Structure 1
Amino acid sequence: MSSTSKLDREQHDTAAAFKAARASVLLNAVLMTVQIVIGWMAFSDGLLADGIHTLADLGADGMVLIVLRLSTAAAHRRTGFEFDRSERYETAGSLLISILLIATGMETLWTSLSHMSDAGVAPSVHAPALVVAVFVIVAKEALFRYIMSVARRTRSTILVASAWHARSDAISACVAVLGIVGSMAGVPMSDSLAAALIGLMIARMGWTLAWKTFKESFARTAAGTTGR
């Protein structure tokens, strides 16, 4: 492959990565607003918890854009040190997203557990919360597939982390749906229980991502040491 065609490919991959990150920002901003507003109006702890998860996604999206900008600037410098720095930027960004997921999950778990004592006197969840939760499942799964396809094509670890963050929202929305249905069926505690489960799932996904990022970083460091 000529240097010109390689440069064109790199520029195309960079543009695709930024496009995916910006699409995630736009979708998460819309979903977060709808989830929190409808969750509050429809008395759904599960949907509110899922909205907080999407708010964490927005913070993660900001990190993704920053890391992409830094790693792109580093990669444009043609030294081995700068390429190594580019990988470090992506590793650091992935770890920050992991920490954000763990913190969000634990906060959501704590809040939902504190609400369980009031579940018996709380009003039942309203139907609009169910409609929003189902829509979130579809939207987040579509976003996961889109970002993951771009991540594989561009070989971006930070986009892989972002994609799994989107998938975690789709999964937590499924739990929110179960909680909402249970509350509408006359079991008020099910919605708070769903919120607690969502918190545990978010924290677990953050830990899994952190461990995976750490192992990949260690493997790259070991390979680089062996290659010297």
Structure 2
Amino acid sequence: MTLLSTAYFPPIQYFSKLYAASGGPVYLEAYESFVKQTYRSRCLIVEARGAQMLSIPVEHGTGRKQTIRELRLSSHGSWQRSHIQAIRTAYGPSPFFEYYWDDIEAELKRQWVHLWDLNLSMIELIASMIDLDICLRETSDYIAPTDSPDDWRYRIRPKHTEADPTFVAPPYYQPFALRHGFVPNASILDLLFNMGPEALIALHKSIVPPKQ
């Protein structure tokens, strides 16, 4: 079974796993402890100055360890406002920004309490926008890391990325590529706003078939 962590506006590699499992169940790890500096609470967008990481502040409770399912968003600061402004600035000129942005912005502005619920809602919303058929399920208990080729929970990450022979970052139009070069494996937002309905084609091209 395909096993993923939760993720905030996940990278294209993450969505390529969802695409590969289209129609079948994908399990999201709901009982792990929070892992810092991962896509669980951050995403990579591409703006005029280059790649930029957006990070969501979370509350680290005292006492017993919280599961990722229980992790609460921080009530301090104005991260929603700053993320909305950063995304709007980065992708306002993109071809499909106006087509998708209103629904994404409305969802992002909701009064979210838990990181899990925010991430799940965004993944499902974007999947529906690109007509990606997904069936997401929560794990019922913590699953220890395995050597399974379908266990991607700790292998898709911003730093120390492991080799993935089943994925190739698909080339596509990025407005600032002439200035900074193409940024591979950015947030799914980058692919959505720049390619629109053709995002699904790019995801298809991102999958490397197994060798016979």
TM-score, scaled to structure 2: 0.32
The structure richer in strand per residue is 2
Normalising by structure 1, we get a TM-score of 0.30
Task: Indicate the structure whose relative CO is greater, using CA pairs within 8 Å and at least 6 residues apart.
Answer: 2
Give the structure with higher Rg (CA): 1
